[in-house]
Amino acid sequence: MIKVGIVGGTGYTGVELLRLLSQHPEVELTAITSRKEAGMPVSEMFPSLRGRVDLCFTTPEDAKLTECDAVFFATPHGVAMAQAKELLAAGVKILDLAADFRLKDTAEFEKWYGMPHSCPDVLAEAVYGLAEINREAIKKARVVGLAGCYPTSVQLGFAPLLSPKSTGGKKLIDLSYLISDSKSGVSGAGRKAEVGTLMAEASDNFKAYGVKGHRHHPEIRQGLSAIAGGEEVGLTFVPHLTPMIRGIHSTLYARILPEGRDVDYQALFEKFYEGEPFVDVMPAGSTPETRSVRGSNALRIAIYRPQGGDTLVILVVEDNLVKGASGQGVQCLNLMFGLPENMGLTHIALMP
């Protein structure tokens, strides 16, 4: 059994980790931390876990995290890097749901997250946690910086068009002109009291935010560039808040170049994701819905070429708390410990 600890278990990604890991056949939950709630039974805060999780919240000092095989950080940015070296020295593998080990450029990290990076040496060895793209590197990793929720949908939506392996080295689309029009439910803002996510503010409302700049933008560009073999990528990314709890819907746009005009894009995507356990390329003409992935680790994609023109439209849906966060973390955990990638992640989406 893999002994797993969770640092910061009172937020949405934390309770989602508990839901998934408590049902994982090869995981033993050994510790979950919260300074504020230390001593409280987890099931008292989250009654959905009654009979499933019998742990109490503990302080990080009492959690004995160095005795774990793996530790998840479901914490604000900056926490994982403060504890990373001690855990690594004890042979513990780290999976961070925050941004500490996503951006390889420390100056870029400091610009967007407003803090210096305290362990650039650990950052240098960290692997970006997007399994469909970095599967082999994740298998050998000690530290995984899990992909953000929006970046997961955007990168997996564009990947088949950028990867030289998929395109045969051809330039199918204009890499300087990619657009992501993305929408997320309010749970993406975290479990905290904030005016913008109050029911009276978010319900029956729809708005864009972060239009001038969003911290996921450099992460997406970094990932897309890596997928494209290091080529620079131009991206316009506009996120929106929608009046729902869970889900991300990204509508992606790419301009087709002359060399890509005769390509069967439906077939291209189907071949690229053939055999992937969590990516579903839907039949031509489909329009994926966020409720079709709610509570599951699935990501669904549909491809359109309106009027047979030179604009390609890719529709992508995922559950931001599962495939966009905690489920992706469990997927990477499985890879890091040599387990079947879909172990503990075969949940069917909730309907209605």
329 within a domain of the structure (yes/no):
no
Expressed as residue numbers, the domain containing 106 is 2-125
Residues 219 and 270 in one domain: yes
249 within a domain of the structure (yes/no):
yes
Q: Which helix (H) or strand (E) holds 209?
A: none
Residues designated as active site: 149
Task: Give tens-digit pLDDT for 178-202.
Answer: 999 999 999 998 888 889 888 899 9
Q: Please give the Cα distance from 62 to 291 (Å, whole number).
A: 40
Residues 90 and 157 in one domain: no
Task: Give tens-digit pLDDT for 254-287.
Answer: 999 999 999 999 999 999 999 999 999 999 999 9
Q: Residues 122, 157: contact at Cβ < 8 Å? A: no
H helix intervals, 24-65: 42-45
* Mean predicted confidence (pLDDT) in 120-130: 97
pTM: predicted TM-score of the whole model, two decimal places: 0.97
Residues 225 and 315 in one domain: yes
Band (pLDDT 50/70/90 cuts) for residue 290 is very high
Residue 91 sits in a domain whose CATH number is 3.40.50.720
pLDDT of the residue at 194: 87
- Indicate whether 227 pLDDT > 90: yes
DSSP state of 201: H
Q: Residues 238, 253: contact at Cβ < 8 Å? A: no
Q: Which bin fits 307, alpha (ψ -120 to 50), beta or left (φ > 0)?
A: left
137 within a domain of the structure (yes/no):
no
* Helix, strand, coil percentages in the chain from 3-state DSSP, rounded to 5: 35, 20, 40
Give me the residues paired with residue 6 across strands: 32, 72
pLDDT of the residue at 192: 84
Q: Which bin fits 344, alpha (ψ -120 to 50), beta or left (φ > 0)?
A: left
Residues 160 and 221 in one domain: yes
Angle between helices 327-336 and 131-139 (to 10 degrees): 30
The answer for residues whose C-beta is within 8 angstroms of residue 304's C-beta and 6 or more apart is 312, 313, 314, 315
265 within a domain of the structure (yes/no):
yes
Task: Please give the mean pLDDT across all residues of the chain.
Answer: 96
The answer for residues whose C-beta is within 8 angstroms of residue 133's C-beta and 6 or more apart is 155, 156, 159, 223, 226, 227
282 within a domain of the structure (yes/no):
yes
Domain count, the chain: 2
Residues 114 and 242 in one domain: no
Q: Please give the Cα distance from 77 to 74 (Å, whole number).
A: 9
Task: Give tens-digit pLDDT for 2-46.
Answer: 999 999 989 999 999 999 999 999 999 999 999 999 999 999 999
The answer for residues whose C-beta is within 8 angstroms of residue 169's C-beta and 6 or more apart is none
